[in-house]
A and B are shown apart, each in its own frame.
Chain A
C-alpha cells in the first residue's frame, strides 16, 4: 500500500516510455504504413497506463487509455494514420509529459485534458462511421444512456472506470474469478485501519485488488464507517476467501458477489462506447493479443537489461563518491609535497605509484558521472516538428553524435541554451518554402545538430542551410541600438559582426514571433555557456547557412589552475583563460585615461591590480620595481592581472562557497590546497566587462 518508494522508479520509467513514444511517433510520421512502429508505441503506452493506474494517477491512466484506443485502432487497420491524428497523439504525449513532470515536482499529476480526450474519442469514433454505421449508432445511444444514468439492476455495486473494467473483463476471460467483496467490521472495532490492512493482506495474497471503495488512502485514515468494498481478481473461490477474511478478528460480515462476464459486458456496453466497441465485437481475439503483448513487453525489457548490463545509481551517491575522491586528490597533493621534502626513495616510489593509480581512478570516477548528450538532444525532434508546423516551414533535423558524453552538471545546464539556438535556426535561419524555391534551394531546410569530443572539450554545433546572417543588416541594427559605434563598426571582422547577434537587446527578425523570443534569448545563451567555462562562435555565409559552434569543458569539477600569491593570500586563476605570464618593470607601465596599461606584443593591455580589487591588507609595499603579470583573455579582449608571485600550475577540485555566500564579485568558487587551506578561484570573466 505504500507506494512512495516506487515513485522515483515510476517517474523515471514513465519518462523513458514517453520518450520512446515520441521517438516512435516521429518515426511513424515518416513511415505511416509501418505497423511495427505503432505496435512499439502501443506497448509503451500500455505499460505507462498500467504503471500510472497502479500508482493511482487516474488522469494519467485515463488519457493513456484513450490514446491507446486510437493506437489500437490504427494497429488493427481501422484508422489510417494521418497528420491530424498524429497531431492529436502528439498533443496527448505532451499532456502526459506535463503530468509526469508535475508528479516529479511533487504535484498530483492532475491536468484538464478534456479537449484532447474529446479529440481522441472523435478520431476513434469518427473512424467507426466509415467502418460500420450500425455499431456507431448503438454506441451513440449507449453513450447517451451513459451520460444520463448508469443504472442496470445487474450492474456491479462499485463503479469502475474504463481501465478497471478492461482489467476485470480480461481476467474473467482468462478464467480468473472477479469478486466484489463487502467487508463489515464490528461496531466495537477500534483499530479499523489495522483490520483493513489485515484484510488487504489476505486479499493480496490470494489475488489482485482492482479497486476499493472508499479508496485505500481513506481506508488507511479510517475515513469510513463499518463497511468497505473491494474488487478482487483471484483464482481462489468465494467460500475460501470468505473463511479466510472471517479469520481476521472484529470482522463481522463478509459478502462476496461474483462478477460474471455477462453482467460485466452488459454494463460495460452501457457505460462506455470505447470498451464496448473493442470488446463486444471481438471479445475472443483481443484478450489473447493483450496477453501476448504483455509478454512481449516483458521480453523486450528483459532483453534490454541483459544487453547493456547497467544498474541505476542515484546521483547523490555519485556525488558522494566524487567528494571522497576530491578529498583523496587533496591528500595526494599533500603526500607529494611531503615526499619531495623527505626525499626517501621508497616513499617517493610509493607515492608515484599511488599517483598513477589515482589518475586512472580519476578517469573512472569522472566518466561515471558522464551521460550521453542524447538525454538533451532527444527532445529536439519533436520540438522542431512542432515549430516547423507552426511556422509552416519544411525542416529536416539531423542529429549526429548523440552518444557523445558530457559531465552531468554540464548536461543539466546546456538544455535551455540549445533550445534557444535551435529555435533561432528554425525561426530566423531556415526560410519559408516559397523563398527557398525562389532561391533555387530544395523546399525542405536542413538543421544539423552535431556533438563530438576533441581534446578536453566537447563541441556542439548547430548548422542550418538557411539564409545565413546578413552582416549589413546586423551592423545597421547594432548601430541603431547603440550596441556598437559607427567608428568601431568599420574595424570589425566578419566573425565579430556575426557575434553581435549574441549581444543583449538584439533581435533581427522583423516580425517578432513567440518562437525565438524577444531578443533576450541569444545573449542569455552566451552568458550561460560562458558561465560553464565554454564559449560560442558563429560562422555564417549569407544565402548558404550558419554554424553556431559551442565549446564546452568535459568536466566542471576538476580544473587546471595557476596558483598565485598576493601578500599572504593564495588565489587560483583557471588555466583556460590564461594566455601567458610575464614579469614587467615599473617603466613598462603606461598611463591611458586613468588606466594603467602595458604594451604586450604590440597590443595595449589594461592592467588589473588584484590586491586593489580584492582589498588585500598590505603590510609593506613591495618596491623592487618589478611586477608579476598574468595575461588573461575573455573572447578577444586581454587584460593583465598583477600579482605578487607565481606559485605554479596545479590540478584542483572546484568547490562552491555554499549557499550563504552567493554572488561574490570576481570569485567563482574555492578549492582546498594540499596544506588544507582554502584558496579562492578568480573569475576572470567578471574582471573584464
Chain B
C-alpha cells in the first residue's frame, strides 16, 4: 500500500500570470476568497497585510510581488492559499487556484537552467504532465528571504 502511495505527490495547482505552480497539499490549510486586508506598516513590500482568518490573524504575501511579476487587478478569481510551514501560518495571494492533482514523483525534475528568471531561487523542481508544466515551489525560500 504505502509503496504505491509514495509514488504520487498530491499538490494544489495555482496560477500566476501565465504559469502554473504547485504546492504539496500537506502544506496547504485552505483556500479563501479575497477579504478585507489590514495593511501592516514598515514591512517588506510583498507583505500585503493581515487578514482575520476565522479569528486567527494571518499575514498575507503577494506572490506576484514576491516573484517580481507585474501586478494585475483581476480580483474575481484571486484567491488566498493558506500555507502552514514550521509553525508559521501565511496566506499567499495568487491569480487563481482551481486544481488538485496527483503528480507522479517520477515526473518531477530538477529545475531547468533558466538564466535571468526572478523566481528561479524559489523553485524546487518542475513536473511535466502531458501538456502541462507545473513549477514546484520551495516554500521555505519563499517565506524566508
Given A667-B40, A677-B36, A680-B38, the answer on whether A657 and B59 have CB atoms closer than 8 Å is: yes
On chain A, the residues within 8 Å of B50 by CB distance are: 657, 661, 670, 678, 680
Asked if B19 CB lies within 8 Å of chain A CBs, one says: no
Given A664-B40, A667-B41, A670-B38, the answer on whether A659 and B57 have CB atoms closer than 8 Å is: no
In chain B, positions 44-74 with a C-beta closer than 8 Å to chain A are 47, 49-52, 55-59
What's the nearest-Cβ distance from chain A to residue B72, in Å? Answer: 20
Closest to A665 in B: B42
Asked if B128 CB lies within 8 Å of chain A CBs, one says: no
On chain B, the residues within 8 Å of A502 by CB distance are: none
On chain B, the residues within 8 Å of A676 by CB distance are: 36, 52
Asked if B120 CB lies within 8 Å of chain A CBs, one says: no
Q: Check B38 against A679 for contact (C-beta < 8 Å).
A: yes
Mask, A399-419, CB within 8 Å of B = 1, is 000000000000000000000
Q: Which of A615, A656, A657 contacts B42 (CB 8 A)?
A: A615
On chain B, the residues within 8 Å of A616 by CB distance are: 41
- Given the complex of chains A and B, what is the CA–CA distance between A679 and B51 in angstroms? 10
Q: Which of B42, B47, B55, B89 contacts A672 (CB 8 A)?
A: B55
Interface centre among B57, B88, B89, by most A CB within 10 Å? B57
Given A660-B88, A676-B36, A677-B52, the answer on whether A614 and B42 have CB atoms closer than 8 Å is: yes
What's the nearest-Cβ distance from chain A to residue B92, in Å? Answer: 12
Given A613-B41, A614-B42, the answer on whether A678 and B59 have CB atoms closer than 8 Å is: no
Q: Check B89 against A658 for contact (C-beta < 8 Å).
A: yes
Q: Check A327 against B55 for contact (C-beta < 8 Å).
A: yes
Q: Check B59 against A658 for contact (C-beta < 8 Å).
A: yes
Q: Check B41 against A678 for contact (C-beta < 8 Å).
A: no
Asked if B117 CB lies within 8 Å of chain A CBs, one says: no
- Given the complex of chains A and B, what is the CA–CA distance between A240 and B42 in angstroms? 78
In chain B, positions 26-44 with a C-beta closer than 8 Å to chain A are 36, 38-43
- Given the complex of chains A and B, what is the CA–CA distance between A670 and B41 in angstroms? 13
Q: Check B57 against A569 for contact (C-beta < 8 Å).
A: no
In chain A, positions 648-685 with a C-beta closer than 8 Å to chain B are 655-661, 664-667, 670, 672, 676-680
Asked if A273 CB lies within 8 Å of chain B CBs, one says: no
Q: Check B59 against A661 for contact (C-beta < 8 Å).
A: yes
What's the nearest-Cβ distance from chain A to residue B9, in Å? Answer: 25
On chain B, the residues within 8 Å of A659 by CB distance are: 87-89
On chain A, the residues within 8 Å of B87 by CB distance are: 659
Asked if B143 CB lies within 8 Å of chain A CBs, one says: yes
- Given the complex of chains A and B, what is the CA–CA distance between A613 and B40 in angstroms? 12
Closest to A616 in B: B41
Q: Check A569 against B39 for contact (C-beta < 8 Å).
A: yes
Closest to A568 in B: B39
- Given the complex of chains A and B, what is the CA–CA distance between A327 and B54 in angstroms? 8
Given A657-B50, A660-B88, A677-B52, the answer on whether A615 and B57 have CB atoms closer than 8 Å is: no
Interface size class of A (residues with CB under 8 A): 20 to 34
On chain B, the residues within 8 Å of A661 by CB distance are: 40, 43, 47, 50, 59
Asked if A326 CB lies within 8 Å of chain B CBs, one says: yes
Given A658-B59, A660-B59, A660-B143, the answer on whether A678 and B42 have CB atoms closer than 8 Å is: no
- Given the complex of chains A and B, what is the CA–CA distance between A665 and B143 in angstroms? 20
Asked if B134 CB lies within 8 Å of chain A CBs, one says: no
Asked if B93 CB lies within 8 Å of chain A CBs, one says: no
Closest to B37 in A: A678
Asked if B94 CB lies within 8 Å of chain A CBs, one says: no
Q: Check A664 against B42 for contact (C-beta < 8 Å).
A: yes
What's the nearest-Cβ distance from chain B to residue A610, in Å? Answer: 9
Asked if B11 CB lies within 8 Å of chain A CBs, one says: no
On chain B, the residues within 8 Å of A614 by CB distance are: 41-42
Asked if A330 CB lies within 8 Å of chain B CBs, one says: yes
What's the nearest-Cβ distance from chain A to residue B45, in Å? Answer: 11
Asked if A323 CB lies within 8 Å of chain B CBs, one says: yes
Asked if B90 CB lies within 8 Å of chain A CBs, one says: yes
On chain A, the residues within 8 Å of B88 by CB distance are: 658-660
Q: Check B58 against A658 for contact (C-beta < 8 Å).
A: yes
- Given the complex of chains A and B, what is the CA–CA distance between A664 and B44 in angstroms? 10
What's the nearest-Cβ distance from chain A to residue B119, in Å? Answer: 19
Q: Check B55 against A678 for contact (C-beta < 8 Å).
A: no
On chain A, the residues within 8 Å of B39 by CB distance are: 569
On chain B, the residues within 8 Å of A670 by CB distance are: 38, 50, 57
On chain A, the residues within 8 Å of B43 by CB distance are: 661, 664
- Given the complex of chains A and B, what is the CA–CA distance between A615 and B47 in angstroms? 14
On chain B, the residues within 8 Å of A672 by CB distance are: 52, 55, 57
What's the nearest-Cβ distance from chain B to residue A107, in Å? Answer: 22
Closest to A569 in B: B39
On chain B, the residues within 8 Å of A658 by CB distance are: 56-59, 88-90
- Given the complex of chains A and B, what is the CA–CA distance between A330 and B39 in angstroms? 20
Q: Which of A660, A666, A677 contacts B38 (CB 8 A)?
A: A677
What are the 7 tightest A-B residue pairs by CB atom distance, in nearest-first order? A614-B41, A678-B38, A670-B57, A659-B88, A665-B42, A655-B57, A660-B88
6 extra interchain contacts, Cβ-Cβ under 8 A, other than A665-B42, A680-B38? A323-B55, A658-B57, A658-B59, A660-B88, A666-B41, A670-B50
- Write 9 A-B pairs (CB below 8 A) sorted by A numbering: A614-B42, A657-B59, A659-B87, A661-B43, A670-B50, A670-B57, A672-B52, A678-B36, A679-B38
